[in-house]
A and B are shown apart, each in its own frame.
Chain A
């Protein structure tokens, strides 16, 4: 399934400035793996921490999360709390 991933500005340096990237992925894990395959420099940033928003719900950890067909997908920096 083709997923249109939208990237926040701070992550676009890894995609040559592209704000949206299209990858074939069914889960968050697959999505991140495919992004690293295309943009190897992104690995370090993903290791440092990112979050994936699927239809407005932010997933920081659950890489098993399924991506529904036609979902809005955002790659965001990982947030911290108090």
Chain B
């Protein structure tokens, strides 16, 4: 069937090869246009005034002096962004996050914005805006925020997920619980029980390109937005709703993207730029500084987690529990819930319970960060698994193999797994040469597993065939990691033409139906599915055109290897027609040849990874060096193996930075102390070894080519793999991420296990 999602195990001719990416030359020559690379006649410079306080009441904003400054064309505050959210609290939170409404909820919260003829004038204008604050008590630590006397961040919030329903405001927005079995009975069966508490600090996705956009709204209510984003259709819908615009009258074009990793799934400055443009009646370009990106976009959570695991002497886990406290920043979200869902997903457990708490603090709104919430939960669980293995005097990998989830296992978050890849990744790790390589003095090896859900979503794709037989593939999922190459491969495979005959373009929102944001590792999975179906749709048209050219019944035409073939014996004198030959005649056989598909791509299938890491630690300074790192992940079918490996390596590199260095540091005043890449240190090439990869291709039964998402899962194990390696190297158990030199040195000096 043309739109059957079932995996067919077909033999591939083009899928699985490694051609150069179509956007490669543009990117290495500087021709690629990113968020800040657009300009328009008469454009203004937009700048944002931000709160210097972690928590404050905004008593008055006086813009009168700034308005009089020559060259200032518009100034906006929340008064220019009226509440049009009709009681939708989630949308209201987005509106308030974009521009403070009578209160500042974190250091960096936007309170006003200016559009002026140049940056200098805009900066002067910001200085002339007077904001009268009443500073309020604040809280930035997740554990402190849960104490009874902590300052309340959102007075309207009542904890959900507990009975009876609370009547008092709380910083705990949600309690979530997952699991099954009898925990108490399970721990009674255990011969060994290990219990430990962990903390992880807040990190940023660290994308190199800051948020940037060019907004233009006219007095006729029509607008355009050029923006760096992971989801321009979602940005269009959200911006239109917040500004009271018609969706069809706001055209959003996604620029090339210099990294997103979840941080560009939400709007931050884009509604502000549109509102400034609307007020000034001129285009407005707004580019965040790095300081603003750190202070006022969406980093991941800091967490505090307790884990308890019990097992029999032979290494069978009898019970496991986790309590996970995740700070969501100043607005309620679901990150603690996701931590609870993912924490024990790698294992086959009869008795398991995980409780997640979503906690509000005076920090920026947390956004997704690559497999959001799973890395911290995996750090705590996988560290405890190593402690348990040590108590049992068992090889850590054998303990995991013995307890690994498999087909038929009831997942800790509820459902029963179909075919999954955790077992194969563990076996591959056990047999990998890396596991047997010798280690030197002050060196340690660690391994850990990780899980992520993956998902699909709304997708719409066009495929147009030119008269020369080349193919324009138009998709709506932003290419964050090489998807234009993988989608072109799938179109070429389906049509039976060479890869270089396909050109894949990301359409603007006026040119294609809605596409969900590129998140949840969905780009190649869902747009790939829609591309296959659009190609099959086009093949139906090609067959019909061939039938016309031959003057035979279309039922007598088949499509093989990029050619129309006449089937019946009486048509034996008809030569095959190539796609190019049919395309060349298309003006005379009915006009342009195109295929189209719109779908909701579900059935993405879950994903697992196992990582191995070698670390050397200097016991005098606490400095660490990653000596060797191996990623093994179930990728489903690897459409373009280079980019699958690239995703594995990139995720591991981010995880290494998170594990060893990256950390938001807040002062007692509630202000972020290290809002720049000099003081917030992401890894550079010299910090990293070559990251070795092994792709396991366990097909997803819910995709015609067996594709699974690959972009996120491999950021899940590194925190734990590195903690286990470092703990083995240093001889002390590390329980606080990042394991930066001062923290490692302190742990060594304290000598605590």
Contact = CB atoms under 8 A, between A and B. Distances in A.
A58 B456 CA distance: 10
B151 interface: no
Given A79-B453, A81-B519, A8 B416 contact: no
A62 B602 contact: yes
A32 to B, nearest CB: 15
A8 B174 CA distance: 14
Interface in A27-72: 48, 53, 55-62, 65, 72
Interface stretch (B6-14, B31-39, B368-376): B368-376
Nearest to A28: B602
Q: Which of the four size classes fits the interface of chain A?
A: 20 to 34
B415 interface: yes
B663 interface: no
Contacts of B265: 80, 82
A82 B370 contact: yes
A8 B368 contact: no
B368 A81 contact: yes
Interface string B426-443: 000000000000000000
Interface residues of B, number: 50
A57 B603 contact: yes
Contacts of B369: 82
Interface in B139-182: 160-161, 163, 174-178
A58 B702 CA distance: 11
B416 A56 contact: yes
A10 B161 contact: yes
A70 to B, nearest CB: 12
A56 B600 contact: no
Nearest to A78: B334
Contacts of A74: 414-415
A60 to B, nearest CB: 6
Nearest to A81: B520
Contact of A81 (B178, B417, B455): B455
A3 interface: no
Nearest to B599: A62
A17 B163 CA distance: 9
B225 interface: no
Given A10-B177, A74-B414, A82 B372 contact: yes
Contact of B522 (A8, A13, A57, A81): A81
B261 interface: yes
A72 B416 contact: yes
A74 B415 CA distance: 6
A48 B712 CA distance: 24
A82 B517 CA distance: 9
Interface in A4-22: 6, 8-10, 13, 17
A13 B161 contact: yes
A30 B454 CA distance: 25
Interface in B595-623: 600, 602-606
**Which residue of A55, A57, A62 has the most chain B CB atoms within 10 A of its CB atom?**
A57
Contacts of B456: 60-61
Contacts of A53: 414-415
B629 interface: no
B590 interface: no
Contact of B457 (A56, A61, A72, A77): A61
Nearest to B265: A82
B413 A76 contact: yes
B425 interface: no
Contacts of A58: 415, 453, 455, 602, 604, 606
B465 interface: no
A61 B90 contact: no
Contacts of A62: 600, 602
Given A10-B177, A60-B456, A65-B602, A81 B414 contact: no
A53 B453 CA distance: 12
Given A74-B414, A79-B338, A81-B371, A57 B455 contact: no
Interface in B496-539: 519-522
B454 to A, nearest CB: 7
A20 to B, nearest CB: 12
B457 A60 contact: yes
B591 interface: no
A58 B411 CA distance: 12
A62 B168 CA distance: 38
B262 interface: yes
Contacts of B334: 77, 79-80
Contacts of B519: 80-82
Contact of B458 (A9, A57, A61, A82): A61
Nearest to A6: B414
B418 interface: yes
B520 A76 contact: no
A65 to B, nearest CB: 7
B227 interface: no
Contacts of B371: 81-82
A10 B337 contact: yes
B341 interface: yes
A76 B414 contact: yes
Contact of A59 (B416, B417, B602): B602
Contacts of A65: 602
B90 A77 contact: no
Interface string B338-373: 100100000000000000000000000001111110
Contacts of A77: 176, 334, 337, 341
Interface in B378-404: none
B201 to A, nearest CB: 18
Given A81-B455, A82-B368, A82-B519, A9 B415 contact: no
Nearest to A17: B163
Given A79-B338, A82-B712, A9 B161 contact: yes
Given A8-B414, A10-B177, A61-B458, A81 B600 contact: no
**Which residue of A8, A56, A62, A77 has the most chain B CB atoms within 10 A of its CB atom?**
A56
Interface in B246-297: 261-263, 265
A33 B411 CA distance: 26
A69 to B, nearest CB: 16
A8 to B, nearest CB: 6
B178 A60 contact: no
A8 B411 CA distance: 12
Contacts of A56: 411, 415-418
A45 B224 CA distance: 33
B521 to A, nearest CB: 6
Nearest to A47: B88
A81 B262 contact: yes
Interface string B46-76: 0000000000000000000000000000000
Given A55-B418, A58-B455, A79-B338, A9 B176 contact: yes
B647 to A, nearest CB: 12
Given A55-B418, A58-B604, A77-B334, 11 more contacts: A9-B178, A10-B337, A53-B415, A58-B455, A59-B602, A61-B602, A77-B337, A80-B334, A81-B520, A81-B521, A81-B712
Interface of A: 6, 8-10, 13, 17, 48, 53, 55-62, 65, 72, 74, 76-77, 79-82
| 4 tightest Cβ-Cβ pairs between the two chains A and B | A82-B262, A81-B520, A82-B368, A9-B177
6 contacts: A17-B163, A60-B455, A74-B415, A82-B205, A82-B262, A82-B520
